[in-house]
Structures are given as C-alpha cells and as structure tokens.
Amino acid sequence: MKSFWLVLCLSVMVWADAHIFIYHRFNDSRYPTTNTTLEELRKEFDYFKKNGYKVIPLEKLVNALHNKETIPDNWVVLTIDDNYKSFYEHGLALFKEYNYPFSMFVYVGATEQKYGDFMSWNQLKEIAKYGSLEFHSMNHPHMTELNDEALKKDFDEGLALFEKRLGIKPRYFSYPFGEFSPRVKNIATSYGFQAILNQTMGAVASFSDPLDLDRSALVGKSDLGGFLKYKALETTWFEPTFLGEDGKLTSLHVKAQTNATKGGIYISEHGYQEVSLSDGIFKAELNKILTKERTRVIVSVGNKISTKLLVKDKFSK
C-alpha cells in the first residue's frame, strides 16, 4: 500500500505542469511575427475553455512555486510583453469577455516618451483593473550587450519611473527579447523580483525556478495544442551555461531526473540528434561554432523538455 501511494505521488509530481504564454500585439497586421489576430485569440480562448484549462493570474502560479505546492496540469497563465496600444484597443475586450486575467510587462521608456504604438500611463492605470502590470525594462535593450553598470542604470531608472507613474512596485520581470545570460540573470535577481520570465518554450512544474520561467509565444498561427503537450524535464545544466564571444560550443552535459534510456538533443541551426541516456545523463561532444547571437539548446525525453537559450555575452567571465 505504501509503495502504491509513493508511485501515485511521484507520478502526480512528474505530470503536474502549467504553461505560460506570451502575446505581443493584437489585430495589428503590420507586424505579422508578433501579432495575434482577434480570430486567433478567440480560438485559443475557446480551446482553453473547451479543454478544461484554467486561466489563472501569474501571481497564483508564482505563489504556488514559492510555497512548493503541486502545480495542476491544467493551469495556464497569459502574459503580454510590451505595452502596445493594440492591446488596449483590441485585445483587452476579449480578455474581459472571457474574464481571463493577464500580466502585462511594461517597457517604461516607450510610454514615458509617448511612442505612438504604446499605451499612455493613464491607459495602463485603466487596464490594471483587469490584470497586473510588471516590469520589462526602461529602454528595452539587448541586455547581454550592456556592461554591469549600464544594465543597473536601466533597472534603476526604469523601476523608479514605473513606481512614480503607476504608484506600485512591480513584482515580476521579463527580459526584453527574452535574452539573458547568467550575468544578466544575477543582476536582475538582485532587484528582488519574485519571478523572472524568459521567452523559451517549455512548461512549468513544481521544481521550476521562479526566477527562470519558460514561456511560449502565441503569435501568428500558433500551435497551441502542441505547446500544451510539452512537459517540464527536471534538469541540472553543467554545460553549456553561457556563450562567450567566440561562439564556441564544445560539449553538452546535462543531468535529468529520468529513468529513460533514450533522449534527444536539439540545437537551433544544427538540428536534432538522439542520444543514449544512462542515469539521466546527457553527454555529447559538440565542437560547434555558433554564429548566431542566440542559440536554443533543448534536451528532451519524450514530450518532456528543458531548454537553454545561449546568448553571446562578452561581459561574462
């Protein structure tokens, strides 16, 4: 009896995953790669409804992670990066109709400078009745390209202005372009955010790091059903952890919590390879030179994945 309960508990732990999605622009055909039409949005919202998914506030997921609670596998969190006016003009009405909460990550400088495509401070205050407002930087830089001092300046200025204009402190942060390195993460973490979100496809389970939460982008004609099938693979990444200026990717060494004997390694631009696993250890000599500024490395076992985005950071040691 005891062992049955143990197995049951373990399987619940293994399968308990949530998904966080990102939107950018709504009904704005000028930017097809970051746009979601209202027809698509309605299709996605109906999909959640019909298939028993529960759209919850980000706060509920973050609190559950901090409290080490089991994460139900039907939880969905909706986030919006960049405070585009198209959300206020088009997207918001649908969120209200379905009564779906959201967290919007605010590019502070764009609203302050009154950039045409962005919401005003008053519009932001108005939408805060339906969702939460969080931080997405002052100047929307490629953060790995800033030295420590410049990076801290962006956080300091942006956070001060966010608080001054909106009267609240943001609790969560998302990286501009989803780009970061361990150095950028350390600096972001020093600001005391309860959660930090990337833009790396994946799922969220009870073992997920609240300061490195994966999100999948729902733009264009998205494969929502496909994204929802992914589960989180619990891993420790020994190598690679960051990408130097030379772009050298020598080897991969990741330990996963799995008994499986076969797994996969995917590297963007280089494709997929199957590997044998023993004790959950992924080991491969790669000896590749990565020419892109950012490269995605995914290790997988079946539909469970763990993703690392490598972004060149010349300021990392």
Q: Provide the token pair at 245.
A: 């200026």
> Considering the complex, what minimum distance in angstroms separates the CB of residue 197 from Zn ion?
11
Among 41-49, 73-81, 111-119, 161-169, which window interacts with Zn ion (CB under 5 A)? 73-81
Q: Which is nearer to Zn ion, 184 or 205 (CB)?
A: 184
Rounded Cα gap, residues 250 and 204, in angstroms: 29
3-state secondary structure of 16: coil
Provide the residue count of the chain: 317
Q: Which helix (H) or strand (E) holds 40?
A: helix 38-50
Among 39-47, 77-85, 114-122, 213-221, which window interacts with Zn ion (CB under 5 A)? 77-85
Q: Which is nearer to Zn ion, 63 or 139 (CB)?
A: 139
Residue for token pair 């979601």: 36
> Considering the complex, what minimum distance in angstroms separates the CB of residue 248 from Zn ion?
29
> Considering the complex, what minimum distance in angstroms separates the CB of residue 31 from Zn ion?
12
Q: Which is nearer to Zn ion, 137 or 300 (CB)?
A: 137
> Considering the complex, what minimum distance in angstroms separates the CB of residue 25 from Zn ion?
11
**Number of residues engaging Zn ion in binding (CB under 5 A):** 3
Q: Which is nearer to Zn ion, 104 or 290 (CB)?
A: 104
Binding test (CB under 5 A) with Zn ion, winner from 81, 134, 179, 313: 81
> Considering the complex, what minimum distance in angstroms separates the CB of residue 115 from Zn ion?
12
Among 79-87, 164-172, 232-240, 273-281, which window interacts with Zn ion (CB under 5 A)? 79-87
> Considering the complex, what minimum distance in angstroms separates the CB of residue 160 from Zn ion?
20
Backbone angles phi, psi at 218, to 5 degrees: -100, 80
Rounded Cα gap, residues 70 and 14, in angstroms: 10
Q: Which is nearer to Zn ion, 74 or 139 (CB)?
A: 139
> Considering the complex, what minimum distance in angstroms separates the CB of residue 76 from Zn ion?
21
Q: Which helix (H) or strand (E) holds 271?
A: strand 271-276
Cis before 240? omega within 30? yes
Q: Which is nearer to Zn ion, 58 or 249 (CB)?
A: 58
Q: Provide the token pair at 233.
A: 């693979």
> Considering the complex, what minimum distance in angstroms separates the CB of residue 23 from Zn ion?
11
- Across 99-225, the runs of DSSP E, i.e. the strands, are 103-106, 132-135, 172-174, 195-197, 204-205, 216-217
Among 55-63, 81-89, 153-161, 196-204, which window interacts with Zn ion (CB under 5 A)? 81-89
Contact code string over 165-184 relative to Zn ion, x by CB under 5 A: -----------x--------
Q: Which helix (H) or strand (E) holds 253?
A: strand 248-256
Binding test (CB under 5 A) with Zn ion, winner from 17, 28, 40, 82: 82
Separation in Å, CA 17 to CA 11, 107, 242:
12, 29, 26
Kindly give, in sequence order, each residue whose CB lies less than 8 Å from that of residue 144, ignoring residues fewer than 6 positions away. 179, 180, 181, 183, 184, 311, 312, 313, 315
The residues that touch Zn ion, with contacts defined as CB under 5 A, are 81-82, 176
